[in-house]
Structure 1
Amino acid sequence: MDRRTLLQGISVGVALATPAIAQTQPTVRWRMATAWPRSLDTLYGSAEALCRRIGQISEGRFEIRPFPGGELVPALQTFDAVQGGSVECGHILSTNFIGKSPALGFDGGLPFGLNSRQQTTWLNEGSGRDLLRALYRKFDVVNHVVGNVGVQMGGFYRKEIRTVEDLNGLKMRIGGFGGRILAKLGAVPQQLAASDIYAALERGTIDAAEWVGPADDEKLGFYKVARYYYTPGWWEGSGSITGIVNVAAWEALPPAFKEMFEVAAAEQNSLMMARYDARNPDALRRMVAQGTQLRTFPRAVMEAAYKASFETFDEVAAQNEDFRT
């Protein structure tokens, strides 16, 4: 057999074998429900980037299509949808779901708690990852850290907060432990999805609202209807963002696809913090130029919040074993 004949034979063999090889590779298509509006290119944009990266690594064999909050399910029902299996995965801030277990606060962030570097250390070099995996398994969910928003602002207010007494009767959009603690100080916490906050603040249904920080708050338009912008956002030392996957969907994945998800999640965990650090300063300057008044919470307010936070932790620990351990 001459060289030309041999090469022709090899080419034909490869052509015939390629479809068979392709057929042996699984194709997985998931949907991801997020808790974010499309306008937030830091949070929702990170979910898009996570899904896109998984598609790239898998060469299109593992595709996840993200959806803004409200398109598949209401934003605050994302956890339930993933837990029940109506969607395969979600992109959330777990502190919004502490009604399921207060111990979820250790994932999203606790008042006066760990900053982003400390949270990452606890997760990867401490026992955090294993503890949280065991907790989420109780809800038929597998959790993945997919981002962190870092230190947050204290929200926009229609009136100044000069004393603890100014919190009495204050209707504020805030979820998680921050809401519980502010309630101890006389405020009236309300949990709203991001897309509903502006209208409530504009109509006066609420008096104040917190979300994340300048980059997001500017896009949500809070500065147009509330003048005073406070710092710090003491209710979360940092806001860790979680990708949740239905346990049955996760266990059905080939091992290589699980690794792809983990790698893409770790990548976004790093990139999200960088995006916020890059975008927050310019957003803050623009809002100040539009008339936003920066304020720091008075020392008396911070001290009262700190005291109420640790009282709350003790109360919850006495009633909930997961939080206690």
Structure 2
Amino acid sequence: MGKCSKDKRDVFYRLSKEEDYRARSSFKLKQINEEFGILKGVRRVVDLCAAPGSWSQVIREEMNKSVHKDRSVVIAVDIQEMAPIEGVVMIQADITEKDTVTKIKTFLPNGNADLVVCDGAPDVTGIHDLDEFLQGQLLVSALNIATMVLKSGGTFVSKIFRGKHPELLITQLKIFFNKVEYVKPRSSRGSSYESFVVCQGLTLPRGYQPTMVNLMLEPNYDLAVSKLEGVNRQIVPFVSCGDLSGWDSDRSFSLRTISETPCDKNKKHAFRFTNERRSGRKGKMKDAGACGKLAKNNSDASSTDLESETENLTLDDAIELITACILSDV
């Protein structure tokens, strides 16, 4: 008994063959349309990265149900040559090139489309972070075209690779669209990282000028950024805080000369503290170890004399000296 490949055992693969679709991905668009109704009432659609053409087949099929089917247009764009589809305009072009938009607009009656879809993906490397980045750049190119050919309030649907944190991408898309949904059709394999964004209600920011420039793909990034104007380029203020006439963190300053070790300094503090307490008691301290002995012999001595007499004491002796003085008051 012969073995069946994984594709032949896949129900959507078999259904696509039975219904004469070019790929199983046709059911992904069908299920997205069932949920969001993106093909309802549309007359002008641009299908980016269209090869082999399954999404264009579904779009043309839905448009044929409309009473305005004779005035509808479907434009399929792909860098590869595609087999013709009845009722679909084929354009062989790169969606990252500026001339592609001009070619698309020649087939649109008024230069505006109701819907732009993109099911393209780069050749995967297996390195998820890299694949996600490359897919993101493809999405940027598709979005650039969408902002240039979509009518106000139009819809944009594109494939993305699911990352750990899609919040940033969704937030960025909401700059251009009133509603953005993050979806995965049932026909998309659970093991696949692909997902889709459904963006509805195109509203360009005030002052924004659509462009095909993708800064990440420009050979001279700094030059490309310097040519941006208006809301396309925002200058972020960089404020310096603090007194400019004060200390400078980039300069080197001379250190103060240290004439004594930390241990000597601690002993002097102990002697000074002891002498102050002894002077306040006027010779009434009790005999309490080293402190009492010093008090008897030096009741009228100055702080300098006391430090001189106890110069050879260790730090432990100094601690004992302070402790004894404190206990003498109890």
TM-score, length of structure 1 as denominator length:
0.25
Q: 1 or 2, which has the higher helix percentage? A: 1
TM-score, length of structure 2 as denominator length:
0.25
Which one has a bigger Cα radius of gyration?
A: 2
Of structures 1 and 2, the one with the larger relative CO (CA 8 A, separation 6+) is: 1
